[in-house]
Structure 1
Amino acid sequence: MNYIIILIVLFVIELIYFKIADKYNIIDKPNERSSHTTITLRGGGVIFYFGALIFFIFSGFQYPYFFLGLTAITVISFLDDIFTLSNRIRLSIHLTSVLLMFYQVGLFELSLWLIPIALILCIGIINAYNFMDGINGITVSNSLAILILLAISNLQINFVDANIIYYTILSCLVFGFYNFRNKAKCFAGDVGSVCIAFIVVFLIALLIIKTQNINYILFLTVYGLDTVLTIVRRLSKKENIFEAHRSHLYQYYANENKSNRLLISSIYGLLQLLIGIIVIYCTRFNLTIQIISSISIIVIFGLIYLYLKYNLIKKHNL
């Protein structure tokens, strides 16, 4: 199907959802974790699912187990946006969905010891993606960066039907049109951040398995560093890491430093794009150089992160 037509269809679906959300009061009220101060429509990120649904239908129902898992995790996340479900129910669906994804990518055909490690890693990434969704534009900026990197990699390696990447990019553009604003029309909600995270993890997993190159996990470097180093700091302060907070680097810049939030989101996305391009470039070299470059990326950007955060903590007595 023509990409322009799909883009128009996705816009129509998003507008229909806005009417439903407005009618049934599906809104996001500011709380102690929020970086916004006004009530905004929640769940606009459901458009990511519809982008995948259109692909699924017009591709002849490719990747059925992945799509079944995506549907389950999207539905439970949407319900959680509305009712706030128990952690046990939510985690059980996440677990089931990720196992369906593993079956789709063929992970069960590899060494069984990889399963628990991959399970913890994937569920961690999905939840980190959700926690990082705290200011306008950050989810769509980061997601577009990763999807562009995956599209570039797919041109070189052909690890997946390209349309699933392109349709997801189109859904990001639709969501970004309403979210990448100083006063957003809608927020992604758990349904959006979890759904796009699931799609991204699926694509990266396919790429890693096809190439046998774990370095592609660095397509998640920016979110990964902010999440892991924030958790380490909170643990050092003996804080409950499962409680709501506003101590990510981007939140310090947005809230305490009063920096432009769209600029912050753009920098996060562009930085991830830069790192990913370096990773892709380094794949042409031997394994030793790839390992050295990957470690260098983590160390260099980790030190930059710590330096920036230390200065903000010192400046604002955090």
Structure 2
Amino acid sequence: MAIYAALGAAGTWLARAYALRSKMIDEPGERRSHSVATPRGGGIAIVAAVLVAAIALGLRFPAQAPLALAFAIGLVLVAAIGWVDDHRPLSPWLRLGVHVLAAAILAGAIWQLRGDPWLALAAFVLAVGLTNVWNFMDGINGLAASQAALVALGLAWFGGPVWGWLALALLAACLGFVPFNFPRARIFMGDVGSGSIGYAIAALSALAGSGLGARAWLLLIPLAAFMVDSSLTLLRRMRRGERWWTPHTQHAYQVWARRIGHTRVTIAYTVFTGLALASLHLVTEVRSGFMLCMGAGWYISGAFFWWLIQRADARSGARDG
């Protein structure tokens, strides 16, 4: 996997040089969580590394080549619309349309080649959902890449020798990117990286889950931190009648980062997801009822922490007011 880590690191260095030359810079603002102008688009290195791994997978396992091709096409679509958006902002509905197309290609291939419409539906929903979840949650140093690396580690554990190998490539590529983004961000991942990572995790979750049967839902446990923060924040914005599709800084991780800094928040999320990942080894050895309680416990815990952070911020704002 060293080659994919090297591709991630070298590609990020090249992407940074390109971003500086082309003035592809994220400026600070009220809808941003950073205070220093920073180049973006470094996630294209992760995309390139994962695409190389997908090609290698198709050559090494010819029986899986059609699925690997569908995965790669979807990844390129998501990355391409993100890359264009990193250069000049696009309509969120255009981006969503491309995400839906990429998810449909993946789901169609799974249905055709695996003959399982429910697995195809799960792949479609996950692909559309996680593509946007990772985009929502990519707002402070190191968070999106570190969470992706941890989730990819879990997928490598459950994905078997084929898709687990591709998950390891994603893990390695993220590790190659992280030193450029954490603890000090010399480049941001950009939409090209965040959306593509979400898509890749969704596809790998569906393909790895197909071999787990009724236990496939366990793969949702390492996603708890991102799923809870993104979904609860989105629901709150919708309930308030806000333009929920526009950039903002209302996620729990953003609120918390304003109080204690990016580094501590990223580490806290890493600990939470790391413990969730470790619990997977325990729940696979016990009865299904306990497994379900364990999974629910992580999501309930995440929701509780989200509420605490948002409540503390509201109280602080009231005092300042």
Q: TM-score, normalised by structure 1?
A: 0.88
* Residue of structure 2 in register with 1:198 after alignment: 199
Preserved contact between residue 28 and residue 41 of structure 1 (Cα < 8 Å): yes
AA of the residue aligned to 2:22: Y
Preserved contact between residue 65 and residue 104 of structure 1 (Cα < 8 Å): yes
* Residue of structure 1 in register with 2:139 after alignment: 134
AA of the residue aligned to 2:292: I
Residue 220 (str. 1) matches residue 226 (str. 2):
no
AA of the residue aligned to 2:162: V
1:166 to 165, 168, 174: 168
Shift of 1:239: 2.1
1:69 to 68, 74, 77: 74
How far apart, CA to CA, are the structure 1 residues paired with 2:21 and 2:162?
39
AA of the residue aligned to 1:235: M
Residue 240 (str. 1) matches residue 238 (str. 2):
no
Closer, same or farther in 2 for the Cα pair 1:174/1:38, shift >3 Å?
A: same
* Residue of structure 2 in register with 1:252 after alignment: 255
Closer, same or farther in 2 for the Cα pair 1:144/1:89, shift >3 Å?
A: same
Closer, same or farther in 2 for the Cα pair 1:159/1:217, shift >3 Å?
A: farther
Preserved contact between residue 153 and residue 280 of structure 1 (Cα < 8 Å): no
RMSD in angstroms over aligned alpha carbons?
Answer: 2.3
Preserved contact between residue 51 and residue 168 of structure 1 (Cα < 8 Å): yes
Shift of 1:116: 5.8
SS class of match (1:314) = helix
How far apart, CA to CA, are the structure 1 residues paired with 2:56 and 2:43?
21
Closer, same or farther in 2 for the Cα pair 1:52/1:115, shift >3 Å?
A: closer
Shift of 1:196: 0.9
Give per-residue Cα distances to partners, 1:39-90, cap 9 Å, x unaligned: 1111001111111122133334441110111011111110111122223432
Closer, same or farther in 2 for the Cα pair 1:280/1:33, shift >3 Å?
A: farther
SS class of match (1:31) = coil
Q: TM-score, normalised by structure 2?
A: 0.88
Preserved contact between residue 254 and residue 264 of structure 1 (Cα < 8 Å): yes
How far apart, CA to CA, are the structure 2 residues paired with 1:91 and 1:248?
20
AA of the residue aligned to 1:246: T
Shift of 1:6: 4.2
How far apart, CA to CA, are the structure 2 residues paired with 1:200 and 1:287?
24
Shift of 1:261: 0.8
* Residue of structure 2 in register with 1:146 after alignment: 151
SS class of match (1:59) = helix
Preserved contact between residue 159 and residue 210 of structure 1 (Cα < 8 Å): no
How far apart, CA to CA, are the structure 1 residues paired with 2:23 and 2:191?
16
Could you tell me the percent identity over the aligned residues?
25
Preserved contact between residue 41 and residue 190 of structure 2 (Cα < 8 Å): yes
Preserved contact between residue 107 and residue 121 of structure 2 (Cα < 8 Å): no
Across the two proteins, how many residue pairs are aligned to each other? 309
* Residue of structure 1 in register with 2:29 after alignment: 31
Shift of 1:19: 2.2
How far apart, CA to CA, are the structure 2 residues paired with 1:85 and 1:308?
32
2:46 to 48, 52, 59: 48
How far apart, CA to CA, are the structure 1 residues paired with 2:181 and 2:9?
13
How far apart, CA to CA, are the structure 2 residues paired with 1:111 and 1:227?
27
How far apart, CA to CA, are the structure 1 residues paired with 2:211 and 2:2?
31
* Residue of structure 1 in register with 2:62 after alignment: none
Structure 2: runs of 5+ lacking an equivalent: 60-64
Preserved contact between residue 141 and residue 266 of structure 1 (Cα < 8 Å): no
How far apart, CA to CA, are the structure 2 residues paired with 1:166 and 1:101?
20
Preserved contact between residue 131 and residue 198 of structure 2 (Cα < 8 Å): yes
How far apart, CA to CA, are the structure 1 residues paired with 2:220 and 2:289?
17
How far apart, CA to CA, are the structure 2 residues paired with 1:69 and 1:226?
26
Preserved contact between residue 7 and residue 176 of structure 2 (Cα < 8 Å): no
Structure 1: runs of 5+ lacking an equivalent: none
How far apart, CA to CA, are the structure 2 residues paired with 1:44 and 1:208?
29
1:109 to 115, 127, 139: 115
How far apart, CA to CA, are the structure 1 residues paired with 2:82 and 2:129?
15
How far apart, CA to CA, are the structure 2 residues paired with 1:298 and 1:59?
34
AA of the residue aligned to 1:7: A
Closer, same or farther in 2 for the Cα pair 1:118/1:174, shift >3 Å?
A: closer
